[in-house]
Amino acid sequence: MSSHYRGRIAPTPTGYLHLGHARTFWIAMERAVEAGGTLVYRDEDLDPERCKPEFAAAAMEDLRWFGCDWQEGPDLGGPSGPYRQSERHSLFLHAWERLKNAGYIYPCDKSRKDVARAAQAPHADEEASEVIYPEHWRPPLGHGRAASQPGPTNWRFRVPDERTIQFDDVRLGPCAFECLRDFGDFLVWRKDGVPAYELAVVVDDAAMEISEVVRGEDLLISTARQLLLYEALGLKPPEFYHTPLLCDTSGQRLAKRNRSLTLRELREAGHQPESLRQSEDWWSGLDD
């Protein structure tokens, strides 16, 4: 059966992968296999300070050990390469230029700390993860349009007022996020010369013709932001399938800092991928 399904797995090599990553990537692989499609491996090594080549190599090795398999990637090549984001700068720059010329983005000299300090407390009923960029700091429309390069400054996307971003998640169903309430003006380019995650991932998913993005549900708000970028760039968005996050026995979300659960250490401790995939932990939260 031939299929146009194209999925991807896109780890950021800032540390060793843990079982939570493996489960998300495993689901991504299963969905690609079930659709008779292609799975792309993309190395999201954009941040030169935090990403390390040894973690990028370890991620591929550990996922192979775990049983993950992809058809295009840094190790295999393919028609949509290069598969390392650090080698795709010109595409990101082109997107920056289009957004800037169309007036969607503006240069911003506020640091993350400034924003955190000045912003109103986010909704009292939520964990304080999302800080809204204060609207009164926005420059007038058109500011920055004359720039020929991003330069040593941050650039933000001007989020529309009074708009709700809605999408149908393949697993979760209808999702909705309100602009300037659930998220505010977000970074698309960083002052250290690196595109921000939101921009890079949209440019790459579109250029690699990804038809379905499978990733953790911690990125649901990012999906809303990214849909605005797809629209601004005139690109067709993929489908989205957000996976539940894997928690440990105390209910804490697994993170790279939970060292005991890296794939590397599980392997060194003698665990087998098959039995990890049958464990109770693995199935926690997988309700469908």
| Residue among 196 and 201 whose Cβ is closer to ligand GLU | 201
Q: Please write down the HEC assignment for all residues of 214-265.
A: EEEHHHHHHHHHHHHHHHHHCCCCCEEEEECCCECCCCCECCCCCHHHEHHH
Closest CB 256 distance from ligand GLU, rounded Å: 9
Cα angle value 53/58/62 (rounded, 5°) = 160
* Beta carbons within 8 Å of 1's beta carbon, 6+ residues apart: 36
Interacting residues toward ligand GLU by CB under 6 A? 10-12, 44, 201, 215, 219
| Residue among 10 and 39 whose Cβ is closer to ligand GLU | 10
| Residue among 20 and 107 whose Cβ is closer to ligand GLU | 20
| Residue among 132 and 202 whose Cβ is closer to ligand GLU | 202
Closest CB 203 distance from ligand GLU, rounded Å: 12
Closest CB 28 distance from ligand GLU, rounded Å: 9
Q: Supply 262's token pair.
A: 């890296």
Task: State the angle between helix axes of 89-101 and 220-233 in degrees (0 to 180), rounded to the nearest 10.
Answer: 70
| Residue among 119 and 219 whose Cβ is closer to ligand GLU | 219
Cα angle value 278/284/287 (rounded, 5°) = 100
Answer positive or negative: Cα dihedral of 96, 102, 104, 110.
Answer: positive
CA 288 to chain CA centroid, Å, is 23
User: Nearest-CB residue to ligand GLU?
Assistant: 215
Question: Residue 85, SS3?
Answer: helix
| Residue among 21 and 156 whose Cβ is closer to ligand GLU | 21
Closest CB 22 distance from ligand GLU, rounded Å: 12
Closest CB 117 distance from ligand GLU, rounded Å: 26
| Residue among 156 and 242 whose Cβ is closer to ligand GLU | 242
Question: Residue 160, SS3?
Answer: coil
**CA 17/CA 26 separation, integer angstroms:** 13
**CA 272/CA 131 separation, integer angstroms:** 41
Closest CB 238 distance from ligand GLU, rounded Å: 10
Closest CB 3 distance from ligand GLU, rounded Å: 21
Q: Supply 166's token pair.
A: 């809605």
